Amino acid sequence: MAELEVDIVATDGKVWSGTARQVTAPAADGEIGVLAGHTPLLSVLRPGEVRVTPAGGGAPERWTVEGGFLSVDSDHVTVVVDAATPVAPAAR
């Protein structure tokens, strides 16, 4: 399966960087999902949750954000936010 290169950056530094199968984010006009091969895109983010499904499998990495923007170009996703708070995995 094709992969995305993902960088999530907050004002205080890099939050997460790596390869992923999918990125989901709260775009201004609804939730957006990004897979490899997505057309170029620049979107404003509203408050909500950003989720990254790692390329190697496993549970998604999750952060609560208050807004920012998301850029997609040539299978590279960049998410820039003021702050990102990790969401703890659900208890099993």
List pLDDT tens digits, range 31-49. 999 999 999 999 999 999 9
Domains in the chain: boundaries: 4-86
Task: Give the pLDDT confidence score for residue 90 in this predicted structure.
Answer: 61
Domain 4-86 grouped into CATH 3.40.50.300: no
Q: Give the type of residue at 28.
A: A
pTM for this structure? 0.92
β-bridge partners, 77: 6, 72
**pLDDT for residue 1 is more than 90:** no
Number of Cβ atoms within 10 Å of the Cβ of 17: 11
